[in-house]
Amino acid sequence: MPCYRCATRQTDPGKGPSDWKRGVRDGVQVLVCPDCQRLHDWQADLDACAECGSSSLVRQLGETRCRACGSTVAEVGGAPPVDEALASDVSAALDRRFRSYPDSQVP
């Protein structure tokens, strides 16, 4: 995957940790090359966590998760409208899920 700004490709991607940063921009996982990290306020371009403001987000299994606080970030642009009954079903399911993962609870 190339840098989202300058399209430079990562060299030696198999060589373990690099200076490239990962982030999520408009709901899409992106990479930022070291040059763009130096020359540009790249974190301002990335999606930020609604809970803690961190841009350390990662795309996983179709959702965006904050690596700083562990919360899941709502999709930018919003989900298609759903009726009230379905929406309350979904929030009940989310409640159950968060209860079973105490680490992701927001104080």
| Residue closest to 64 by CA, chosen among 47, 44, 82, 89 | 47
Using CB under 5 A as the binding rule, whether residue 66 contacts Zn ion is answered as: yes
**Count of residues that bind Zn ion according to CB under 5 A:** 13
Shortest gap between Cβ of 12 and Zn ion (angstroms)? Answer: 16
CA dihedral for 12, 24, 64, 103, sign (positive or negative):
positive
What residues from 7 to 26 belong to the interface with Zn ion (CB under 5 A)?
8
User: Which segment (14-22, 29-37, 81-89, 96-104) binds Zn ion by CB under 5 A?
Assistant: 29-37
Q: Which of 39, 68, 90, 94 binds Zn ion (CB under 5 A)?
A: 68
Compute the distance between CA of residue 19 and CA of residue 88 in angstroms, rounded to an integer.
Answer: 43
Q: Which of 27, 45, 51, 59 binds Zn ion (CB under 5 A)?
A: 51
Compute the distance between CA of residue 19 and CA of residue 38 in angstroms, rounded to an integer.
Answer: 11
Using CB under 5 A as the binding rule, whether residue 46 contacts Zn ion is answered as: no
| Residue closest to 7 by CA, chosen among 33, 28, 27, 29 | 33
Site of interaction with Zn ion (CB under 5 A): 3, 5-6, 8, 33, 36, 49, 51-52, 54, 66, 68-69
